[in-house]
Structure 1
Amino acid sequence: MIVEYLRYSVPDDQQAAFIRDYQAAKEPLLHSPYAISFEIAQCSDEPTQFIIRIEWTSAEDHLKSFRASAEFREFFIHIRPYVGMIAEMRHYQPC
């Protein structure tokens, strides 16, 4: 298993749509056999900052298998407007 963390900077006027669209994207994401879990969190100290946490079966499954799937295409429809707001996107190995 690998954990992906995405950090977003989302302007105030787009935060409600961001949350709504990521909640909608959760459905196709979690239908993928490669995605184990999903979580979205908004920073209480700096509300423009969001963290997305996704557990994947492996980095290769995420980057190759998921991204080539129908589930990814449906997922990406929802999150496409926010790709330019990604401040950081990394995989982490649990210890």
Structure 2
Amino acid sequence: MILEHALLPVKPGLEDDFVGAFGEAKQIIASMPGFGGLTLSRCRERPSTFLLLVEWDSLEAHTVGFRGSAEYDEWRRLLHHFYEPFPVVEHFDRVLTA
């Protein structure tokens, strides 16, 4: 399993619109092969910052399968205009759990 981590800096004043658009976009990502689940959280100290965590079966399920799909174009259309600056996306391997 791979954990995708992205801090999403949403333009101030557009947070509620972003959450609404993400509600629609999550159906797109959830339909992709290799998708294992996601959480979207909002920062208390910086309310325009959101944390997206997505579980994937493999790195390629995200970087090749999802990002290379036609569905990704719709994801991008729904969400990418909210970000300033564009988020850094990183991938993590599980080391320990409790």
Return the TM-score normalized by structure 2.
0.84
Shift of 1:86: 3.2
Which residue identity does 2:20 align to in structure 1? Answer: R
| Residue identity (%) | 24
> Does 2:86 align with 1:86?
yes
Hey, what's the Cα distance between the residues in 1 that align with 2:89 and 2:76?
15
In terms of fraction of residues, the more helix-rich structure is 1
- Structure 1's consecutive aligned runs of 4 or more residues displaced over 6 angstroms after TM superposition are none
Return the TM-score normalized by structure 1.
0.86
Q: Secondary structure at the match of 2:7?
A: strand
Note the aligned Cα RMSD (angstroms).
1.6
Flag structure 1 segments of 5+ consecutive residues without an equivalent: none
Which residue identity does 1:8 align to in structure 2? Answer: L
Q: Which residue of 2 aligns with 1:22?
A: 22
Judge which range, 11-20 or 74-83, deviates more.
74-83
Which residue identity does 2:68 align to in structure 1? Answer: A
Hey, what's the Cα distance between the residues in 1 that align with 2:69 and 2:11?
30
Flag structure 2 segments of 5+ consecutive residues without an equivalent: none
Hey, what's the Cα distance between the residues in 2 that align with 1:83 and 1:3?
21
